[in-house]
A and B are shown apart, each in its own frame.
Chain A
Amino acid sequence: MLKKIANKCIRAFMADRQLRIGVIGIVCLLLIIIFAPTIATHDPYSFDFKRLLAPGVGGHILGTNHLGQDVFSMLVYGVGTSLKVAVISAFISGALGVIIGGVSGYIGGVTDTIISEIINIFLMIPTFFLILLIISLFGNSIVNVMIVIGVTTWPGNAKLMRAQALSLRERTFVQSAVALGETKPQILFKYILPNGIFPVVANTTRGMAGAILTEAALSFLGLGDPNIISWGQMIYQGKQYTTSAWWISAFSGIAVIITVIFFYMLGDGLNHVFNPKYNYGRSK
């Protein structure tokens, strides 16, 4: 089973350009995190009198900000923040979605009706405002940001998982497990969740991109964690200097876009892999 999946992944990796770009891009970002101290030309936490230097001046590749911090080095250290927010919040959202959606779809009946109504309701609530409200009330530490993003974005995943569970529970192998007398939790965790999780995984990668954008937006509203370096906060800081030092906002925004695109590509690629109907001959 595992070998089959591995083979399929390798084949898909070779065949699907989006998946390839996504995987390679994210591996590169991980390498940047590991080698950040080597890659960064300056200490991003050190302040200097060389404030608002233009890109290229005084050995600062992308210039300096209003406190004299090196923009390039800040970008390098910011990768860690973005990826951490992306992975942890998407994991929370994915786990909640899988369990709630799985239970709802597998058990069915009144439970399912109630849970799916709750899912629909949550899908109608403007999530960003909810996040904003919670963060401004409970404090803007990065841990809070990650948890809140995770806890507010699960309904999409739950909806996907529910649909999977609904169709899986009618399948022969699940029915035979029922006949063998396996308990409901056993069936749920052994058969339903592992077999239905793939679309959620693909959706979760998209969720990671969303989490990065949400963190950036919160930082832009002044609700970022002041103790860490994040791209969103760099855009926020650069806002005051759009006329005198455009590079502070510009480059940090580009970093966000590139990272988000990598996650989108990974998500789309995974969707192609998990979708048996997808025809590789047609993908460009």
Chain B
Amino acid sequence: MARFILRRFLSGVLTVLMVFVINFIIIKAAPGDPIRTIMGKETDDPVLREALMEKWGLNKSIPEQFWSQFSNALKGDLGTSIIYNRSVNDMINERLAATVLLGIVSSLLALVTGTALGIFCARHEGSFIDGLLSTISYALDAMPSFWLGLMLIILLSSKLGLLPTQGMVDARADYQGIKHVLDVALHLVLPTLTLVLITMPGYFRIAKSSIQQVTSEDFITTLRATGMSRKKIFDKYIFKNAILPTVTMFGITLAFLVTGVTLIEIVFSWPGTGRLTMTAINQRDYPVLMGIYLVMSVSVAVVMVLVDIAYAFLDPRIRYDK
């Protein structure tokens, strides 16, 4: 068990390192001269160029440059935005809470509803609802998340005027206390709904197929033959055995969710890192893009390692094997 955790932990560390290396290579290989961008088109003063190279550390050797960036990031310093001349850390920090809120609420809701529906369909295989839900989940899987968001805006807000579509709070009203919470919750409905619909099919499929698989195994038939009630067999044996793949799915979905959240935030003008990504792309603010990419990759890696460790705790086969 300890070996397993150590192994997963090391591969997590390696992943973060790899993200760094890729990051660095991309920046170095990209066309264009950063100093030229900073100096502007007209000036070409060699003294100024030298000074700027010195300031940004570009006159050092490549390994030295890598090391200084790497050690800075390890200390938690992600650099400075070219456009706003502000620390990238601050820019990401002030946006992170909104993204995390949206991400956690929707991933948990998707997990619960997707799994519940999957279990329901597995127990009523071949029923009308099973067919309907399976078809819907197939279609949802093929849907671009941002398109679904736009369609929900058109249907629920533009046509019916039901829900707010933009931002996290009503900018015209300055709500305090409980009203503020309700206001945020109301703004959270549409983006969350979109993300839940997009990520649910994964949980639905995995729950359905693993329940079906466990149900068809011999030990369940044996239990049936002993005369144990269906409910007891399901609660005590099928569910416990079939729920494990869902844990893995949570990790996989998370990487997918990171992308989804970015796009959905843009659709709904949600003030999180997704919006920051969009503005950084438009302004070609690379340090900010890099910073967001690093933060995202590291958090995905951390969660995936945690999920794997949780899995090992839950599944005795892994616990005792290694």
Contact = CB atoms under 8 A, between A and B. Distances in A.
Nearest to A128: B259
Given A124-B255, A125-B297, A130 B22 contact: yes
Contacts of B304: 124
Contacts of A253: 143-144, 147-148, 150-151
Given A124-B11, A125-B301, 18 more contacts: A121-B14, A124-B255, A125-B297, A126-B255, A129-B258, A130-B22, A132-B277, A136-B281, A137-B26, A217-B144, A221-B266, A221-B277, A222-B278, A249-B150, A253-B147, A253-B150, A256-B144, A264-B142
Interface in B96-124: none
Interface stretch (A1-9, A58-66, A159-167, A237-245): A237-245
B19 interface: yes
B138 A264 contact: yes
Contacts of B138: 261, 264
Q: Is the interface of B mostly helix, strand, loop or mixed?
A: helix
B19 A125 contact: yes
B293 A242 contact: no
Contacts of A256: 142-144, 147
B26 A133 contact: yes
Given A137-B30, A138-B31, A217-B263, A250 B154 contact: yes
A235 B296 contact: no
A130 B293 contact: yes
A134 interface: yes
B301 to A, nearest CB: 5
A118 B284 CA distance: 30
B179 to A, nearest CB: 27
Contacts of A264: 138, 141-142
A132 B11 contact: no
B255 A217 contact: no
Contacts, number: 131
A223 B289 CA distance: 14
Contacts of B238: none
Nearest to B292: A129
Interface string A227-242: 0000010010011001
Contacts of B30: 137-138
Contacts of B262: 128-129
A137 B27 contact: yes
A143 to B, nearest CB: 14
Contacts of B153: 242
A209 interface: yes
Interface of B: 11-12, 14-15, 18-19, 22-23, 26-27, 30-31, 138-139, 141-148, 150-151, 153-154, 158, 255, 258-259, 262-263, 266-267, 277-278, 281-282, 284, 286, 289-290, 292-293, 296-297, 300-301, 304
A167 B259 CA distance: 35
Contacts of A217: 144-146, 259, 263
B261 to A, nearest CB: 11
Contacts of B290: 133
A90 interface: no
Contacts of A239: 150, 267
A257 B142 contact: yes
A49 to B, nearest CB: 25
Which one of A128, A216, A222 has the highest number of Cβ atoms from chain B below 10 Å of its Cβ? Answer: A128
Nearest to A243: B158
Contacts of A213: 142, 144
A121 B298 CA distance: 12
A126 B281 contact: no
A146 B44 CA distance: 37
Which one of A118, A129, A134, A232 has the highest number of Cβ atoms from chain B below 10 Å of its Cβ? Answer: A129
Contacts of A232: 144
A198 interface: no
Contacts of A223: 281
A260 B301 contact: no
Contacts of A216: 144, 147
A126 B158 contact: no
A250 B286 CA distance: 33
Interface string A205-228: 000010001001100111100000
Interface string A20-57: 00000000000000000000000000000000000000
Contacts of A186: none
A140 B236 CA distance: 54
A246 interface: yes
A221 B264 CA distance: 11
A137 B286 contact: yes
Nearest to A244: B158
A120 interface: yes
A243 B160 CA distance: 11
Nearest to B153: A242
A117 interface: yes
B144 A261 contact: no
Which one of A139, A220, A223 has the highest number of Cβ atoms from chain B below 10 Å of its Cβ? Answer: A220
A136 B15 contact: no
A213 to B, nearest CB: 6
A238 B158 CA distance: 14
Nearest to B280: A136
Nearest to A238: B150
